[in-house]
Structure 1
């Protein structure tokens, strides 16, 4: 029996659900409406159009075979009726109708449905500050925004740009301004780090330092209080600590689910916005489905409600909904929270919980940080990769892994491998013995994920006790007043320069010589062990433990992490 499916929203989830259903029930009718004239575009590609990596904005709205995804395309190729510039104003659940209004003419009408899909997405969070409507202040929501922002830059109208927010969009837009166009770029963030809660302070600082090396300035712990302008165009950003010159401003302070119409229809919604759905992507009305950036799903690690506005998730959920509209029982169990963001020649990626978010969720957790080559040490092209693992102490369950490394595929490949396992509640042992493809041009024989799990195991056993680069900085900053004995376990040629700079505080005994030179290492002071990456210093810690030393600290990540973190020794 044929159905009439109405889809509210035509960006990511809406078209995916509509097309999947139409393939399964070609005899049924699908009507998709959207209040914009632009539909089915890749919003996540906007920063890369602004940067110039994507040359033509039309590419954000085309298929892989270069057809523009407009109403004509959906009608002729997909068999779907699309009504653009049409706003859904009310859902009448009792009569199974959607009231709509033409955004151009104001004409009103009703669409009857057998089943309804809410794919209204999310909108950029507005700050509601004085001057926020000045020309030159933009949000990053659709290709029109991208065209307007890039046009201003290409005309030479932008010498100074201010980004409000240091999340995904904020960092991507900061790179776009600074890298391609050489614009003096400043990021203002209300918290004390980039990507708060998503990564640890140590990884965040590494990413921040790299962006600063590429010309981006950061101001943390600052609140934007308003904007000033001349002739209707922004010229200043006012924070609680300073005034910044600005020819362009990007507000990237997060997004808010567009769930008002669902709430008014009596559907179960979160108090902060977003529609609750079950594992079949159904709302509390069995004939209404919802997904994408306006849906609340389950976090598979915390079992708590989760809001994760990502295009990749919207597309996967769209297929689930399409199947179920046609009578299927496909499940979307939930999310673990996976991400990656490009930062010039590097990237930051992660999945699951960081230590901060794990503790906030009630876990008694620790984290360990490791730096290791992404390929065999003897292979000519190799780079250091930094990974951090969060583990529940009692159960040894791995709660998440985050990383900082090159912008190639090596790191995100490891993160994706972790993401695939997290829903199964894996332990350290699962990762210690995880099977991964090996060849010297692609990985080390003992892959960094295996080594990271082994480090976590040793930390829980108490035989690798240490701090990350942030902990080292705290110790190093107090070197004049503390009794810490900083011991470099590398060969003398590696330790020579820091010893010359810090003759009173930096000492050197290579790990292989420790037993023969114990008289040089005090027993009555904390001994802080450092090597290149933390491996030899771990061996040194074992050796000193065996000789009765009671306060030995290993610096996880070693000098590689210390340098990336920006500590000057």
Structure 2
């Protein structure tokens, strides 16, 4: 008899570990256990099934060659024994056995192991507010709930919905409800902007505007206080900002690791409640491995522990575990938190730390912004991309990157390029000189990644004193004492001078060398152009002419107008 490998959990990591172990050890006795009857499916595809982008639910648990990954598939093709509708009750580490219950018959039994793998996943977080147990309140934790939800929507039973949580799941579900089905959807987030763990407020503002333009009402800095309804269903959500009538409430407010059985067995857990594992994915018991949503991983930037429930990590960790339980020696040293998301026609990608996270981790963090076409500006069909870098002021070590744009593949490619460096402690020179592919259909000769690195170096070197676009809109533009210098063309500047009067001074960049004496020297000049490049160059010129109180509006008019279209007259 070969080694006995028992794996609890059969969605993502479990099947990956089982199949890898089988390839390396043809004689092993491998058993997969799962409470559910549907296994080995792409959980991250659930929002796209609900939206209708994925028409048939079978596609989520089928191979690329359309074979359904059911217990028979694993038995015949992978020679792995799968026990569905089976709940793992307890682990006896001394006896090296797992107590299980057949959920169909209620019968309990013990399964012996030489090596145990925990792939128990996570559970959606539902805040403890009144009404969460009412009909019509759901959290999308498995395919059964997704199928039920889509059937209800398709039957016309849902006219309005509230999605609680502005993270990835919340945004994806808001799009799913709105895009195809036309459900009146409100997204509620308790933090001050959407995707608070992934991006900063300025890029989040672009995303919020895009969501609202596509019919999603976004309520940030808002807390759910109570869900109202009766035995027939939900009627409203009460928040600290008012009451929202609705027929459906979806919780997408994050997840918590499923570690109860491991805790009871005495395995070590971390500060976020996930299991602690070493680089070989072993728990505090060397005969028990764990990965996926139930573990914490090392943050390669801060060196601390973090909880990162991502399907991509689960699959990579599954392969590492499968190798090691079959006698190999592979490592998973940690992660930098690379993340991407589609929201209607806009894409978001990020890796590493946001500015707020970097400061909280003890870095003297500063950020730089580049706004540039996602391919050569002269190539047809180019779209604007917005990319930020976060770095430590003293060491110039790059700590994070975040990007937003319409061309999702282009956005993801830029962030992936920087993400590959982050675990190796790159400095700004590594990014500003990063070698990336160039051809006009795909990129500019000076790629936006390089431009962002240069922009941040200019900030650190004192050549640029930026103000973020959200701060410009909130604090500077409404203040009639503040002076704005617009270095765009006269045609571009005229609508703004007409609206804001003498405080909006328009001197085009090419005229500035001979007209700078027209500018006041006893006030702060907030210099703005379309994207930030001309305003930076104008700032350099003015400083050489003796001006000392200069501020460069990061992202320029383009970014500001995307955040707030009302800054320009309607007829402009």
TM-score by length of 1: 0.98
Instruction: Find the aligned partners of 2:516 and 2:455 in 1 and give their Cα distance.
Output: 26
Alpha-carbon distance in 2 for matches of 1:294, 1:17:
15
- Secondary structure in 1 aligned to 2:296? strand
In structure 2, C-alpha distance between the alignment counterparts of 1:407 and 1:510, rounded to whole Å: 31
CA contact (8 A) 2:90 2:265 kept: yes
Q: Which residue of 2 aligns with 1:104?
A: 104
Give, in whole Å, the separation in 1 of the partners of 2:99 and 2:271: 25
- For residues 173-193 of structure 1, give each alpha carbon's deviation from its aligned partner in whole angstroms, at most 9, with x where no partner exists: 001111111111001111111
The aligned residue for residue 237 of structure 2 is 237
Paired with 1:125 and 1:528, the residues of 2 have a C-alpha distance of 44
Correspondence 1:194-209 to 2 at 5 A = 194-209=194-209
Residue aligning to 2:124: 124
Q: How does 1:395-414 map to 2 (within 5 A)?
A: 395-414=395-414
1:345 matched to 2:345: yes
Aligned residue runs from structure 1 range 14-413, under 5 A: 14-413=14-413
1:136-166: CA deviations, max 9, x gaps?
Answer: 1111111111111111111111111100110
Q: Given that residues 342 and 408 in structure 2 are in contact (C-alpha distance below 8 angstroms), is that contact kept between their aligned partners in structure 1?
A: no
CA, structure 1 residues 222+475, in 2 after alignment: closer, same or farther (shift >3 Å)?
closer
Residue 498 of structure 2 aligns with which residue? 500
Displacement of 1:111 in angstroms is 0.5
> Can you give the 5+ residue segments of structure 2 that lack an aligned partner in the other structure?
none
SS in 1 for 2:77: helix
CA deviations 1:99-126 (Å, max 9, x no partner) are: 1111121100000101000000001112
Partner Cα separation in structure 2 for residue 320 and residue 272 of structure 1: 23
What is the CA–CA distance in structure 1 between the aligned matches of 2:223 and 2:59, rounded to whole Å?
Answer: 36
Aligned equivalents of 1:407 and 1:380: distance in 2?
A: 13
- CA deviation after TM superposition for structure 1 residue 477, in Å: 3.8
Shift of 1:519: 2.1
CA distance, structure 1, for counterparts of residue 162 and residue 78 of structure 2: 42
- 2:519 alignment counterpart: 521
The alignment partner of 1:175 has SS state of: helix
**3-state DSSP class of the match of 2:95?**
coil
Is the contact between residue 60 and residue 143 of structure 1 (CA under 8 Å) also seen in structure 2? no
Equivalent position SS for 1:379? coil
CA 1:36/1:510 → structure 2, altered by over 3 Å: closer, same or farther?
Answer: same
Paired position in structure 2 for 1:553:
551
SS in 2 for 1:275: coil
Cα pair 1:358 1:399 within 8 Å, conserved? yes
**What is the CA-CA distance between 1:295 and the residue it aligns to?**
0.6
Judge conservation of contact 2:272–2:296 (CA < 8 Å) in 1.
no
Look up the match of 1:532.
Answer: 530
Aligned residues of 2:162 and 2:246 also touching (Cα < 8 A): yes
How many residues get paired? Answer: 567
Residue 197 of structure 1 contacts residue 356 of structure 1 at CA under 8 Å; is this kept in 2?
Answer: no
Deviates more, 1:130-139 or 1:369-378: 130-139
Report Cα offsets for 1:51-100 as digits up to 9, x if no partner. Answer: 11000111111111111111000000100000001111111111110111
Per-residue deviation at 1:272? 4.1
SS in 2 for 1:117: strand
Q: Supply the distance in 1 between the matched residues of 2:203 and 2:144 (Cα, whole angstroms).
A: 34
Native 8 Å contact 2:117 2:289 kept in 1: yes
- Residue 214 (structure 1) shift: 0.7
- Counterparts of 2:308 and 2:249, CA distance in 1: 25
CA contact (8 A) 1:342 1:407 kept: no
Checking the alignment, whether the CA contact within 8 Å between 2:374 and 2:407 is kept in structure 1 is: no
Q: Please state how far the C-alpha of 1:467 moved relative to its aligned partner.
A: 1.0
* Distance apart, 1:407 and its partner CA: 4.3
**1:231 to partner: Cα distance:** 3.9
Summarize deviations over 1:261-313 as a string: whole Å, max 9, x none. 11111111125421000000001111110000001110000111111000010
Kept in 2, the 8 Å contact 1:374–1:382? The answer is: yes
Greater shift in the superposed pair: 135-144 or 313-322: 135-144
Give the distance between the partners of 1:96 and 1:309, measured in 2 at CA: 28
5 Å-filtered alignment, 1:410-559, equals 410-480=410-480, 482=481, 484-559=482-557
TM-score by length of 2: 0.97
| Alpha-carbon distance between aligned partners in 2 of 1:308 and 1:31, rounded to the nearest angstrom | 27
Q: Secondary structure at the match of 1:111?
A: strand
CA gap of 1:221–1:474, structure 2 versus 1, over 3 A, is: closer
State the Cα distance separating 1:232 from its structure 2 match.
2.7
Tell me how far apart the structure 2 counterparts of residues 90 and 232 of structure 1 sit (CA, whole Å). Answer: 38
Structure 1 272/377 Cα, relative in aligned 2: closer, same or farther at 3 Å? closer
2:501 aligns to what SS in structure 1?
A: coil
* Mapped partners of 1:236, 1:466: distance in 2: 43
Cα separation, 2, equivalents of 1:416 and 1:220: 29
Contact kept in structure 2, 1:206 and 1:566, CA below 8 Å: no
Task: Name the stretch that deviates more: 401-410 or 85-94.
Answer: 401-410
Q: Alignment partner of 1:228: what SS?
A: strand
